[in-house]
Amino acid sequence: MKVLLSWLREFAPTTAAGPAIAAALSRVGLAAERLEGDALELELAANRPDCLSHYGVARELAAALALELGPAPDGAALAPGRGAGAIHIDAPEACPHYCALALDDVAALRPPPASAARLRALGHRSINPLADLTNTALFEMGHPTHAFDADTLRGGELRVRWARPGERLTTLDGIERALAADDLVIADAERPVALAGVMGGLETAITEHTRRAVVESAWFDPAAVRRAARRHTLHTDASHRFERGADPAGPRQAARLLAARAQAAGAHVAGFSERGSAAAPAAPIPLRAAEIERLLGIRIEEFDQARILVSLGCAPAAGGWQPPSWRADLRREIDLIEELARIAGFDCIPAALPAFAGAGTPRPEAALRDRVRRQLLGRGFFEALAMSFDDAAACRRFAPAAAPVELLNPLSEEAAILRTSSLPAMLRLLQHNLRYGVAAPRLYEIAKVYRLEQGRPHERAVLSLGAADEGLDLRAWKGELEAVLHAFALPPLAAEPADAAWLAAGRGARLGGVARFGQLHPGIAEAWKLPAFVWLAELDLEALYALGARPSAYREPSRFPASERDFSFLFADGLTWAATAAALRIPPIAHLAAITPAEIYRGRGVAAGHYSLLLRARFQADERTLRDEEVQAGADEIVRRLLQLGGVQR
């Protein structure tokens, strides 16, 4: 929101310089972004539409500097009549109050030169005298209005209704738009003439030939305006205000102000029509001194409470304080206390530590998450975070059987559900890193997935891994998972082939029911514009948490020397290392401390369908140095067992 300091000073008279005004507004929550000469840009919270005008910002400035706020601009007295035509409200749930102001002699309008100058300073061009008047009133008081050329309206009526099947509207930007059934429109007797609260129609626009005009001033439901603005990709000054909640008492006030300004500029008020009424005022909100002191830690005297709340537009009432119509966000006692703290100054609240009630016990999974994070960080993975919202079609590809939890008010079609799989988000994260030149990115995310079970939403913790590394293969990727799984009290798991649709053929596997992993299917990689060497994994952290942590064991190393022996054998391809290791460990061989595969060879000198395996055994005792005959006895036992497995010693 851009405001002019000179305009603010008309309502909040102050001699403070621009930087001091910017600092005062920032202190009460209207963050000053940029100050250039007379123009100040403010960053406003979405719940403060009352500050989308100079008078609204001046009200905050007056409260911040303890100034007396000047009166709002005078409006003309209006009596309902027939001059503006008949008004019909067919959608009262979306427009409970509609006013229409009829103006004659529009061509004679001569607004003050200051109006056009102020619009230019705010970055808006001058369109025509009537548009300049409505825009000036908008930036001054904040309520949107729209003017129609009265001679282009058919049937002498204005009707607020939902769009009908097949209706189209060419808006002021020259684009013809197909209207949906839940688009709120303003129509004459035959066709839509405006997208309510968003933009007017081109056929009824004010031009240099306009002689008579009808200016609408209404209150539209924020959800209806937001829905239409997003569907038609339109963001206007009017929609920006209506989406956030315009002042319900604003329509009549805006009509009165425009009537006075139009008369002063040379036009004639020919009539005023009105249907509906503003919403009933909110109930008074109680405010207790003890609650203020409990929450803020300071005492605010009743006189200061009244000064602050009155400066913000609240009025004393039986049972508490009556919030103003333009502050729909003031609903509870805590809201009033926040206003007191904001205007009094958060720096007045002393810092105090909460009372110590003893250290809480961390949840067991917190320590497990930290172990997983440390393990992955040490293996070159970086943690990533993604939104819980996702695209239904993308999630269906990775979790086809999961019933999604749909959002009632999604941000977009690509974020319409709570994700049923974390893998689409991981693909986007890899895509983003590759796009910005990260070589061979390795990422992980500890997240949650959501699904409907028996009609109720359930969430489950998962760990997703992703890598775009040309040097990886299925065994290496399995090793990354096993390093993570080592943190949990999990029995040894054998990898089994997996045929999920997102996995490349023959390049996917699963470990029990806790992990699925493998290379991304080439078709999906191509559709996502990713390289062919993308590897993914998804682990069920909920099941792993239930198993608990793997117990840590420590064995003091022997102080006595070890003896190593190497064994070279030929085996058929069908013999796995798991079978070989089991045969050598059960039953235990005396003094055998470790045996590991040192080398596997296939090629010249080795028959087809076979491989050469070099094993390295280490013999060691804890209490003494082994004799040669003891080591030899252990070596002979290893050879005997390997021969029983069908091996041929080389």
Query: CB-side exposure of 450: number of CA atoms within 13 Å?
Result: 17
Residue 77's pLDDT is what? 86
For residues 85 and 30, the answer to whether their CB atoms sit within 8 Å is no
pLDDT in tens, 26-36: 999 999 999 99
Distance CA 396, CA 390 (A): 10
Residue 381's pLDDT is what? 96
pLDDT in tens, 54-66: 999 999 999 999 9
Check whether 316 has a pLDDT greater than 90. Answer: yes
Q: Rounded to 5 degrees, what angle do the CA atoms 315, 319, 320 make?
A: 40
Q: Does domain 2-65 have CATH number 3.30.56.10?
A: yes
Region for 449 from its dihedrals, namely left if φ exceeds 0, alpha if ψ lies in -120 to 50, beta otherwise: beta
Residue 302's pLDDT is what? 93
Q: How many residues does the chain have?
A: 650
Helix axes 302-311, 289-296, angle to 10 degrees: 90
Distance CA 229, CA 223 (A): 10
Question: pLDDT class for 357, splitting at 50, 70, 90?
Answer: low
Report percent pLDDT > 70 for the chain.
98
Distance CA 491, CA 513 (A): 12
CB atoms within 10 A of CB 533: 16
DSSP codes joined into one string, 505-561: EEEEEEETTTEEEEEEPHHHHHHTT--S-EEEEEEEHHHHHHH-BPPP---PPPSS-
Look up the CATH number of domain 563-649: 3.30.70.380
Measured in whole angstroms, how far is the alpha carbon of residue 467 from the centre of its chain? 25
Check whether 613 has a pLDDT greater than 90. Answer: yes
Question: What average pLDDT does the segment 97-120 reach?
Answer: 92
CB atoms within 10 A of CB 516: 21
Distance CA 232, CA 40 (A): 31
Residue 150's pLDDT is what? 94
Q: Rounded to 5 degrees, what angle do the CA atoms 10, 12, 16 make?
A: 100
Closest CA to 533 of 547, 516, 549, 519: 519
For residues 638 and 584, the answer to whether their CB atoms sit within 8 Å is yes
All CATH 3.30.56.10 domain ranges of the chain, comma separated, are: 2-65, 289-348
All CATH 3.30.930.10 domain ranges of the chain, comma separated, are: 364-547
Residue 360's pLDDT is what? 65
Distance CA 363, CA 375 (A): 20
CB atoms within 10 A of CB 339: 24
Closest CA to 395 of 376, 414, 409: 414
For residues 103 and 270, the answer to whether their CB atoms sit within 8 Å is yes
Question: What average pLDDT does the segment 181-193 reach?
Answer: 96
Name the amino acid, one letter, at 84.
A
Residue 61's pLDDT is what? 96
Check whether 398 has a pLDDT greater than 90. Answer: yes
Closest CA to 527 of 397, 389, 384: 397
pLDDT in tens, 191-216: 999 999 999 999 999 999 999 999 99
Task: Indicate whether this model's pTM tops 0.75.
Answer: no
Check whether 407 has a pLDDT greater than 70. Answer: yes
Architecture of domain 289-348: 2-Layer Sandwich (3.30)
pLDDT in tens, 416-426: 999 999 999 99
Question: What average pLDDT does the segment 80-93 reach?
Answer: 84
Burial 210-241 (b: 16+ CB within 10 A, else e): bebbbbbbbbbbbebbbbbbebbebebebbbb
Look up the CATH number of domain 364-547: 3.30.930.10
Residue 400's pLDDT is what? 92
Distance CA 298, CA 344 (A): 11
Question: What average pLDDT does the segment 73-93 reach?
Answer: 84
Residue 47's pLDDT is what? 92
Residue 565: which residues within 8 A CB-CB, separation 6 or more?
616, 617, 619, 631, 635, 638
Check whether 553 has a pLDDT greater than 80. Answer: no
Question: pLDDT class for 460, splitting at 50, 70, 90?
Answer: very high
pLDDT in tens, 618-640: 999 999 999 999 999 999 999 99
Helix (H) or strand (E) holding 62: helix 54-65
Distance CA 78, CA 269 (A): 9
Check whether 79 has a pLDDT greater than 80. Answer: no
Check whether 358 has a pLDDT greater than 70. Answer: no
Report percent pLDDT > 90 for the chain.
82
pLDDT in tens, 129-181: 999 999 999 999 999 999 999 999 999 899 999 999 999 999 999 999 999 99
Check whether 598 has a pLDDT greater than 70. Answer: yes
Question: pLDDT class for 82, splitting at 50, 70, 90?
Answer: low
Question: What average pLDDT does the segment 104-132 reach?
Answer: 91
Distance CA 541, CA 460 (A): 8
Name the amino acid, one letter, at 239.
S
**At residue 570, what are phi and psi to the nearest 5 degrees?**
-100, 135
Check whether 83 has a pLDDT greater than 70. Answer: no
Q: 3-class DSSP state for residue 61? A: helix
Check whether 81 has a pLDDT greater than 70. Answer: no
Look up the CATH number of domain 86-276: 3.50.40.10
* Count of H-run helices and E-run strands, the chain: 19, 30
Maximal CA-CA distance, the chain: 120
Mean pLDDT in the chain? 92
Name the amino acid, one letter, at 382.
F
Question: What average pLDDT does the segment 107-132 reach?
Answer: 90
Question: What average pLDDT does the segment 495-521 reach?
Answer: 90
